[in-house]
Amino acid sequence: MALSWPLPKNDPWSTPFAELLMHKLELQPGDSVLDIAAGGGVPAFHLAEQVGPEGSVLAVDIHQGQVLRSRSIQGRQMPWLQFEVGDMRFLPPTLPRFNCITGNLSFMFFRPNRFEALSNLVQFLKPGGQIVLTFPSMGTFDSLWDLVDEEMKRRKLEKERKALSEYIEERPSANHAKQWLEELGLERVEVTEWPLEIFTQSGRDFLEHPLLRGGFLDDIYECFEDQNLAHEFMDDLSQDTNRFTPLLAQRCAMSGFIQVQK
């Protein structure tokens, strides 16, 4: 029987990461799931269909607009799926414990205190429960960052180059994820990376690319105090994308299980 809520084929960013998440998640019918930074419901709707009416999915997102949009899509279907407004970093201690905690493209938003946020999150796992989080890890779009750094150096943009270096240093790596899960005492820790190529043309297609602009190109603009200079710099950079393509994102999934109490 075909699924009523498959991962959407028309989402070129959330779905490829969610596919990796589902590949790592050991989900059973009847499980309870906490889905953090749920956004537009990828993969919350799919998760709810997998656990069925005997299970439950609580999907939280900090943006009320996203929650209202997801509720409107859901209507009265799958009443065991709830969308609520909430900050994944400051979840109320009264929440129940879950069989699984998931977060698609969520871990990057834990900054700057990623380990602390992760530590707070795993306390909501039942004994034997699993956490799976996906994020674009270190190495994502390195060909672009390398060229930006070279151009800043050539133009003697020292303050901007320092800001770029600080941004790059702050990005989480697969090794960071593995180390933090192990430090928290989780078992069967696995961190997996799958590359994903992002296609773009030059000029406005690059500058306004929906996957590149939000959270990636914006970070380059934020390196500049003078936004007129930033736009001039990026306009020049966008004229020949062959200098930094192919653009590869590293889809990373971190997975671990809380110890079963003896």
Please report, for the chain, the start and end positions of each structural domain, with discontinuous segments joined by +: 14-137+172-197+250-257, 142-168+201-244
Interval 50-62: pLDDT, tens: 999 999 999 999 9
| H-assigned helices in the chain | 14-24, 44-51, 64-74, 114-122, 142-154, 158-170, 174-183, 204-207, 210-212, 218-221, 227-237
pLDDT grade, residue 228 (50/70/90)? very high
pLDDT greater than 80 at residue 113: yes
Query: What is the rounded average pLDDT of the residues 97-113?
Result: 90
pLDDT greater than 80 at residue 215: no
pLDDT greater than 80 at residue 214: no
pLDDT greater than 70 at residue 47: yes
Provide the greatest CA pair distance for the chain. Answer: 62
Please name the amino acid found at residue 91.
L
101 neighbors 44 (Cβ within 8 angstroms): no
For 26, other C-beta atoms within 10 Å of its C-beta total 12
pLDDT greater than 80 at residue 43: yes
Model pLDDT, residue 131: 98
241 neighbors 201 (Cβ within 8 angstroms): yes
Model pLDDT, residue 141: 95
Distance CA 207, CA 235 (A): 8
Pairing of strands 56-61, 81-85: parallel
Query: Does domain 14-137+172-197+250-257 match CATH 3.40.50.150?
Result: yes
* 125 compared with 4, residue with greater pLDDT: 125
Model pLDDT, residue 262: 58
pLDDT grade, residue 244 (50/70/90)? very high
Distance CA 37, CA 27 (A): 19
**112 upstream amide cis, omega within 30 of 0:** yes
pLDDT grade, residue 1 (50/70/90)? very low
pLDDT greater than 50 at residue 153: yes
pLDDT greater than 80 at residue 40: yes
Distance CA 129, CA 100 (A): 6
Percent of the chain with pLDDT over 90: 86
Model pLDDT, residue 169: 87
Distance CA 77, CA 258 (A): 32
Interval 154-172: pLDDT, tens: 999 999 999 999 988 888 8
Strand partners, 59: 35, 83
**Cα–Cα distance list, 203 to 168, 239, 253 (Å):** 24, 5, 32
Distance CA 115, CA 128 (A): 21
Mean pLDDT of the chain: 94
pLDDT greater than 80 at residue 127: yes
Tokens of 175: 């090794």
* Residue count of the chain: 262
Please name the amino acid found at residue 195.
P
Model pLDDT, residue 2: 57
